[in-house]
Structure 1
Amino acid sequence: MDGDYVIGGVFAIHHYKQTPVHNYTVMPEPLKCTGSLDPRELRFSRAMVFAIEEINNSTELLPGIRLGYQIHDSCTTVPVAIHVTFQLSNGLDPVFNTGDNCSQAGKVMAIVGESESTITISMSRVIGPFNIPQVSYFATCACLSDKQQYPSFFRTIPSDQFQTEALAKLIKHFGWTWIGAVRSDSDYGNNGMASFLDAAQKEGICVEYSESLHRTYSRSRIQRVADIIRRSTAVVVVAFVASGDMRILLQELSHKPPPPRQWIGSESWVTDQGMLKFNFCVGAIGFSIERSVIPGLREYLLDLSPTKLSASPVLTEFWEDAFNCRLGKNAAKDETVCDGTEDIQTLQSPYTDTSQLRATNMVYKAVYAIAHAIHDAACEDANSTAHCDKFTRMESKQVLNQLKKVNFSKNGYDVSFDANGDPVARYELINWQQSESGSIEMVTVGLYDASLPVGQEFHINRNLTWMDGGTHVPVSVCSDSCRPGTRKVLQKGKPICCYDCIPCPEGEISNTTDSPDCFPCPKEFWPNEERYSCFPKPVEYLSFDEVLGIILAAFSVGGACLAILTAAIFFRHRTSPIVRANNSELSFLLLFSLTLCFLCSLTFIGAPSDWSCKLRHTAFGITFVLCISCVLGKTIVVLMAFKATLPGSNVMKWFGPLQQRMTVVSFTFIQVLICTIWLCLSPPFRLENLTIYKERIILECALGSAIGFWVVLGYIGLLALFCLVLAVLARKLPDNFNEAKLITFSMLIFCAVWITFIPAYVSSPGKFTVAVEIFAILASSFGLILCIFAPKCYIILLKPEKNTKKHLMNKNESKDI
């Protein structure tokens, strides 16, 4: 249609071109399209005509100016598209006019199209140097945003850069890390997939395979891609494929039982109504441009009178294909004849389906964007009224400059372009769901708005249907997620999504899923059994609540009670010969020290503190020295008593009661002095021992100065050894009491206990070290009290007839004592 200003349009109404045979003897025939007609692309071209007629009837936009159009079929091939682009650029006038009054009827101000990126790129390279603006409604290749290469290119559909980022976030959102990838072998597919793979890599997504295809490929090459999809382990397949190519692939997959796959599609095919016939793709998900409503478009599309049909070969072809008939006299004998009066209202075709106007709206907006640019170049607005001059000679460069500034709203949708000629990226998330009638329909389940802040762009507001009509999100991973308590170890020669899960080593945890590393717990903590959390280590010490502590405490208290009972017996019979003959003063002092020895073992039980650590070691050292000093005093008394019986000896006056007391005090004072020095220089202290056991804390008393401890212990051993030597020397003395023999036995037990204590103390772990020490204290204390006092108590209580002076003086019976 002619007009004051003409807009060009290029649409892929057919998918193939006729291949001519050149014999170089005659002029080649014009390029012709073959194959079936695409009703969807026909709808796009009709939407362009509808928009132009709507603008021509408008009193606000371009009043008084009539727009014309030239619409061509690209046959979805580059050669035909280049051919028609040159025609649009040069005009269709067959005669060159060299006069001054050149008509602009054949020159287009701008071009709407094309749908495929590869064809669009080729067209843009042709018209770019002539500053003819091109507004695409469906070419999404991110490469077209490069203004240095494509200075006159605009589009009303968002760039694939936004879509690929959205697809990567979508896959990450559902936890898929192992996917397959299929792309069209074109600029659209190759550039889009490259952008997607970059975004997927940033999200930690791995690709099992990446294959390309094109509808012009041989059957064997298409079949190879289908076989790869069948054999793969990836459940999710991302298809960045043009609609025509995807149709060929799905047809190939449908020849055999199709594999269960979760399809993730680009907007090129996921919103194509003609693809819904492949019901094995139910559950497919993809992003689409926003659905819209264009008032009056459906009525315009259905308004196909016989006159309009006969005037347009394309509409004639559509009608014949839709109703499977032949118009007029074109029908053969065996073909159905139709006259153009068939009821198009009942026709189920992508051409008549206006329920999902997405790309159609992009065509509509592209026409209006060009019209607004022409309006701004040819009209002047004054007092809210536009005055346009249709005789204004306009260059396409003026339209190009005005397109960069376009900003308007139509039917509730904003139209503007950024510096790269791209619109604001907004998508709907489309899900193929099965209706109650069993047919597949497209359902909008979410939104994506790239203009929103990071992390808020993506929103799902409805339940999704998954592959095979399932309601649960399918799993597509190379390796199952590593649970907390394990770490990922990559499998050699495989992508990072393929790994083994190795349990964390002892003492380390991982508290997140798919953790690449384990980290150690703080020193006071230890992992739980599953090794995903750190818990405070149990504190271990010899307590009064456990069986061992109760037993030792009972023996300690029992020993103290035994010593007190013995002292009571001796005090009750303090005037009896056997008590008086055994140096009652030292005996009572020995029983008192033994009571302290028994009781000091209680300080070793319970949670240690700094004060209890100081008390337990010093009390132990001092009480045992007091005890050994008393035994040593009794041994010396026995020896002195024998010397005193010799004629002329007065040795007892040199070791009387005063000297005995001084001996005990002196020996004990030395130990007190050693303990004081130890406490002043480096006293024992409470220690949380983390080295013996990794999984628990041993609460113990550190010695502070090991030298101090061993000096205290060595001093006790030295006195015990000295006492043992004196007792051995006095064991056969002809005394009536024979106490030296009893002291010898007690010292042998004492020394044996403490000699075996040393290796046991060093080698016992944790609380058993304390138990060994308590056992040594109790064993040596019981040895002393039983060996020295048990025989005497036996005579006092059970053999009173022997507790006489006469009996004690009888040397022949002294052996019974």
Structure 2
Amino acid sequence: MAPKLLLGLLAPILSLRMSKAKEDAPATRFNAPGDFIIGGMFAFHSKVQYLTVDGKPQFPACYSFYLIGYLQHLAMRFAIEEINNSTSLLPGIRLGYEVHDTCNNEAVATKAALAFLSRDPENDNAAQCDYANAKPRVIAVVGPSSSSLSMLVTRILNFLSIPELPIFFQVSFGSSSSYLSDRQTFPSFFRTIPSDSRQADAIVQLLSKFNWNWVAALATDNLYGRQALEIFTQEALLKDICVAYEAILPDGLNPSEQNAKLIDIADRLENSHINATVVFASPEDAEALLRAVVATRITRRVWIASECWSASPSVALIPGISNIGTLFGIAIKSGAMPGFAEYVQNLLAQPRPGRTTEEEVNEQCPECGSLTYANFSRAIQNSRFYTMFNAYKAVYAIGHALHQLLHCDTASRTCDADREVYPWQLLEEIARVNFTVESEPVYFTETGDPPTGYDLILWDWIPPKNHTFGIVGSYDALERQLTVNESKIKWNTEDGKLPVSRCTQECKPGQKRWLRGEHNCCYECEDCPAGSFQDQAHPTECTPCPQHQWSPAQSTKCFNRAVEYLEVTDLLATIMVALTGLTLAQMAAVTGMLLRHHASPAVRYMGRFPASTVVLSSACCCTSCFLFVTKPTDTICKLRQPIFFGSFAVCLAALLGTAVRRSGLEQTLKRRWLRKHHMGFSILLNTAVQGLLCLLWYYWNPPFLEENTELDKILLLQCEDSAFPGFTALLAHVYCLALFCCFCSLVGQGGNRMDRRATKAINFAVVLILIIWTLFVPAYVTSQGKFVALFQIFAGLASILAIFGSCYYPVCYVVLFAPHLNTDDYFSCLPQDPPADKEKPSAAEAKG
């Protein structure tokens, strides 16, 4: 009872008088009988006026005739007439129609929707309580074109339905709101145009195509405009497009206030230096906006029209509109309707019966009685850019669903005309239709949306007052891909070139960008430093190159480094190897000379053990130098420093033992065995210290093969063996050993003249060693590259040559060139290595 009571309460306000077919001429005939009636809701007028009579509010009065809405209703009637004349679709079945004007107004549309619920066309308020088992007068509704009206109508048509079983369904030819794709809320809504989400995606792709990321967005103040603006803003953000300015076009104001608001919006567009503007608006709002734009003298901009006004003839005829710039339109894909122009022409040419003034005022469309074909000729020529074809398809979708429900047989040209048909049954069938009309596929997805896409059209004005709409691209709704034929685009700019609409020009390749303000489209460009590159996937940062690659500044890619290491073929390495060979050769020559003259006083004076130790350790040290001029490996890196410093430490330990002996400091040693074997003890102790330091080094931070990338374009293979504290400890040990040797040679007092000469020679050699290694440290630390290791080789060779030059070359000179000095008296030589603790003979023994 509640629904019936609600209709009863609405009856005084929402009464509707049906026009009788026999009284109407074809041009003003808005209903026709048939076996099945299809309801139609079209906007014959675009505005309403609220009046009062004797202080009582009246029902809204419609005015401002809307030519396109009237043509859309004619497309519905044309499709019904084609189906009625068809022998393959619904043979033997006649479709009727009942059309109402919505005036784009909620109250007027509600009145029409309630009329469809009535059982009796003469009594609008005869509602039914159970529509699940009733046969309403209207089986389906085509329209309305407005999204907000569609939401209202679909709720009214189904508010008496069982929740799980919607009764009435509607097929809209112009409602694009994404909300209508929600099947939980609108289970019986279908449409033949794509949703706003597809339109927003097409516009965003167009902006991205021409690199426009600094845009404005304007929208009508209704559900369509606000939702379209919201979806577009979200899609634009995902593509790094900044909506720098957005506004809602004023509505419901008096003409002067509305014009002032529009002038303010136009001024803001002018001052913002935005060259691309997207407008989601009704044709009336778009016309008012662009009149303000023309008055503000905004020129040479890019305007993108939503499907609602993408080919509006009233907008195209605004005086001076050709100066505003380049105008693109997102027009719903359409198709041909062969014979439609002739149908309209014949319809309007038929005679009209006379009307009384009262009857004329009460008609849905008072202006329709005086229409001629000339009023529609231009619109019919551009019909592919309007939604007439989509209204045409909507009727055919209902016809095919009814064809299946009635089990029509095309071959026998019969249908089950006696079958009881309920709207909920037809709803099930329309969800499964799949056919082609004029080469255009017609079916509905699970959300009630069609596979229809868009045409990208370009406005072209032909002086003085003519215009054309050319197709320059298309949008595939299934693939979600926009295709643009740039060769067909004529830019309305001063130089005829592509206009720019960016807050900041594109960064050059190899530059990163960082935000300059609150918009992600406003940024500064900065060159990527050397060693990094700019990845297109991450434009706001510079990506470091991998370790084995390099790059110059402002680079978009990395290059492989040239692998280098110190090898014997390098010039400096070759020179150092040659010096090492000469050093070994001179050691071999000295060793040969000492062996040949081992019995001479000069050679015996040197001592066999210390001399052989120095020679062997020096040779080992020189040999380790070859490990520095070959391709490094992990094993080589772990071996070369211990061998080098170990052998060098043995050499210095032997030299220290000699210095202690020649300086007489051995006599200060308290223990006899220590005085006797101090040479071996010195070598053993220092060798043990070196070994212990190596073990600690390997435990703490062992040497390893390093890929050094500090040099440009080069991947240097080198041993990282100079890290603190291992390398430093070994170097410090040999340095201290040399320093102690120098100290012993200075403070000790030799037993005779030759001992003092020997200590002086050792002192001189050690001082040279200290100088060499003191200079080595800063040179080694501050240098880089593959030749750094040559500093250590040179220091080692120079130290060995200092030892041999100071201690052994004089002896060789005596043996080879001064034999008259090679006597026991000259060297005061005792037998080789006399015991250090031998006691002097007593006076009695001496006398005896």
TM range (shorter): 0.7 to 0.9
- How many angstroms does 1:155 deviate by? 2.6
Q: Which residue of 2 aligns with 1:468?
A: 492
Match of 2:295, as an amino acid? H
1:53 aligns with 2:81: yes
Matched positions, count: 749
* Deviation readout 1:396-437 (Å, 9 max, x if unpaired): 6676666556554433334444565x2323203413165999
Match of 2:280, as an amino acid? F
Q: Which residue of 2 aligns with 1:117?
A: 147
Match of 2:259, as an amino acid? R
1:232 aligns with 2:272: yes
- How many angstroms does 1:443 deviate by? 0.9
- Residue 294 of structure 1 aligns to a residue in which SS? coil
- Residue 268 of structure 1 aligns to a residue in which SS? coil
Q: Taking structure 1 as reference, are residues 404 and 316 closer, same or farther at Cα in structure 2, changes over 3 Å only?
A: same
Q: Which residue of 2 aligns with 1:4?
A: 34
Root mean square deviation, CA, Å: 5.4
Q: Taking structure 1 as reference, are residues 623 and 378 closer, same or farther at Cα in structure 2, changes over 3 Å only?
A: closer
- How many angstroms does 1:362 deviate by? 1.1
More deviation in 674-683 or 192-201? 674-683
Q: Which residue of 2 aligns with 1:622?
A: 647
Contact 2:147 2:223 in 1 (8 A): yes
Equivalents in 2 of 1:762, 1:94: separation in Å?
Answer: 106
- How many angstroms does 1:219 deviate by? 0.8
Contact 2:299 2:325 in 1 (8 A): no
Q: Which residue of 1 aligns with 2:230?
A: 194
Match of 2:288, as an amino acid? I
- How many angstroms does 1:257 deviate by? 3.5
1:781 aligns with 2:800: yes
| TM-score normalised over the length of structure 1 | 0.73
Contact 2:663 2:748 in 1 (8 A): no
Q: Which residue of 1 aligns with 2:343?
A: 300
Match of 1:364 among 377, 392, 395: 392
* Deviation readout 1:550-593 (Å, 9 max, x if unpaired): 56445444444555566778899999997788779977886676
- How many angstroms does 1:757 deviate by? 5.9
Q: Taking structure 1 as reference, are residues 31 and 132 closer, same or farther at Cα in structure 2, changes over 3 Å only?
A: farther
* Deviation readout 1:513-552 (Å, 9 max, x if unpaired): 4456667666777776447666777878665566664564
Match of 2:820 among 786, 804, 817: 804
Match of 2:453 among 417, 420, 427: 427
* Deviation readout 1:682-727 (Å, 9 max, x if unpaired): 7696424589969976723538996798579747854873576357
- Residue 174 of structure 2 aligns to a residue in which SS? coil
Contact 2:278 2:305 in 1 (8 A): yes
Contact 2:91 2:410 in 1 (8 A): no
Equivalents in 2 of 1:414, 1:704: separation in Å?
Answer: 76
Q: Taking structure 1 as reference, are residues 401 and 726 closer, same or farther at Cα in structure 2, changes over 3 Å only?
A: closer
Q: Taking structure 1 as reference, are residues 310 and 47 closer, same or farther at Cα in structure 2, changes over 3 Å only?
A: farther
1:410 aligns with 2:437: yes
Q: Which residue of 1 aligns with 2:764?
A: 745
- Residue 55 of structure 1 aligns to a residue in which SS? helix
- How many angstroms does 1:442 deviate by? 2.5
Q: Which residue of 1 aligns with 2:372?
A: 319
Contact 2:79 2:396 in 1 (8 A): yes
Contact 2:628 2:640 in 1 (8 A): no
- How many angstroms does 1:509 deviate by? 6.6
* Deviation readout 1:440-489 (Å, 9 max, x if unpaired): 43215233133xxxxx4325263363753799876545456677877665
Q: Which residue of 2 aligns with 1:511?
A: 535
1:441 aligns with 2:469: yes
Q: Taking structure 1 as reference, are residues 728 and 548 closer, same or farther at Cα in structure 2, changes over 3 Å only?
A: farther
Q: Taking structure 1 as reference, are residues 678 and 198 closer, same or farther at Cα in structure 2, changes over 3 Å only?
A: closer
Match of 2:308 among 268, 280, 286: 268
* Deviation readout 1:232-275 (Å, 9 max, x if unpaired): 34443232222232222223222344344433332222244555
Q: Which residue of 1 aligns with 2:480?
A: 457
- Residue 269 of structure 1 aligns to a residue in which SS? coil
Equivalents in 1 of 2:718, 2:236: separation in Å?
Answer: 53
Gaps of 5+ in 1: 99-103, 323-346, 451-455, 644-653, 812-817
Contact 2:739 2:766 in 1 (8 A): yes
Match of 1:220 among 260, 269, 289: 260
Q: Which residue of 2 aligns with 1:648?
A: none
Equivalents in 1 of 2:607, 2:689: separation in Å?
Answer: 29
- How many angstroms does 1:767 deviate by? 6.7
Contact 2:601 2:823 in 1 (8 A): no
Q: Which residue of 1 aligns with 2:46?
A: 15
Q: Taking structure 1 as reference, are residues 715 and 13 closer, same or farther at Cα in structure 2, changes over 3 Å only?
A: closer
Q: Taking structure 1 as reference, are residues 502 and 375 closer, same or farther at Cα in structure 2, changes over 3 Å only?
A: same
More deviation in 240-249 or 58-67? 58-67
- Residue 351 of structure 1 aligns to a residue in which SS? helix
Match of 2:147, as an amino acid? S
1:245 aligns with 2:285: yes
1:700 aligns with 2:732: no
Equivalents in 1 of 2:557, 2:775: separation in Å?
Answer: 43
* Deviation readout 1:282-312 (Å, 9 max, x if unpaired): 7544543322122222322343675447889
Match of 2:535, as an amino acid? N
Match of 1:413, as an amino acid? E
1:231-630 matches, cutoff 5 A: 231-272=271-312, 275-276=315-316, 278-279=321-322, 284-303=327-346, 306-308=349-351, 314=367, 317-319=370-372, 322=375, 349-354=378-383, 356=384, 359-372=387-400, 384-387=412-415, 389=417, 403=430, 406-417=433-444, 422-432=448-458, 440-443=468-471, 445-450=473-478, 456-460=479-483, 462-463=485-486, 465=489, 468=492, 476-479=501-504, 494-498=518-522, 511-515=535-539, 529-530=553-554, 544=568, 549=573, 552-563=576-587, 597-598=621-622, 600-609=624-633, 610-611=635-636, 613-622=638-647, 625-626=650-651, 629=654
Match of 2:650, as an amino acid? V
Q: Taking structure 1 as reference, are residues 41 and 768 closer, same or farther at Cα in structure 2, changes over 3 Å only?
A: same
Equivalents in 2 of 1:729, 1:457: separation in Å?
Answer: 97
1:78-97 matches, cutoff 5 A: 78-83=106-111, 93=122
- How many angstroms does 1:211 deviate by? 1.3
Identical positions, percent = 25
Q: Which residue of 1 aligns with 2:18?
A: none
Match of 1:208, as an amino acid? A
Match of 2:63, as an amino acid? C
Contact 2:278 2:303 in 1 (8 A): yes
Q: Which residue of 2 aligns with 1:325?
A: none
* Deviation readout 1:9-48 (Å, 9 max, x if unpaired): 333334334x4753418997993523xx544333323222
Contact 2:212 2:500 in 1 (8 A): yes
* Deviation readout 1:767-795 (Å, 9 max, x if unpaired): 78745543432333333333345666778
- Residue 378 of structure 2 aligns to a residue in which SS? coil
